[in-house]
Amino acid sequence: MTGYAYILRCSDGTFYAGSTNDLERRLEQHAAGEGAVYTRRRRPVTLVWHAEFERVDEAFAWEKRIQGWSHAKRAAFIEGGLDAIRGWSAASRRASRPRGR
């Protein structure tokens, strides 16, 4: 069964990552306040990224992956795709920061 991973931009500027087997229905649920509790209080929401996968479990894995990302990393991914976040990790960002106070 086909699956979709998606990212919504909420009215407060935050991002919500989800997955579903019926993207159109799920977006309607979010818009009507019947989606996740997180988006219910942050409507309206706007779809800013989505991808289709051959299997629902692949979409769910992407949802979980995206949920682990910072706001900045999600924004970079939305703007530039995977190329924009290659090599992006907390460890690599810490290592590149100047030391000192």
pLDDT, residue 57, reads 96
38-83 pLDDT, tens digit per residue, is 999 999 999 999 999 999 999 999 999 999 999 999 999 999 999 9
Report residue 35's pLDDT band, with 50, 70 and 90 as the boundaries. confident
Which residues in 39-70 are b (16+ Cβ under 10 Å) and which e? beebeebeebbbeebeebebbbebbeebeebe
What domains are defined for the chain? 3-96 (3.40.1440)
71-80 pLDDT, tens digit per residue, is 999 999 999 9
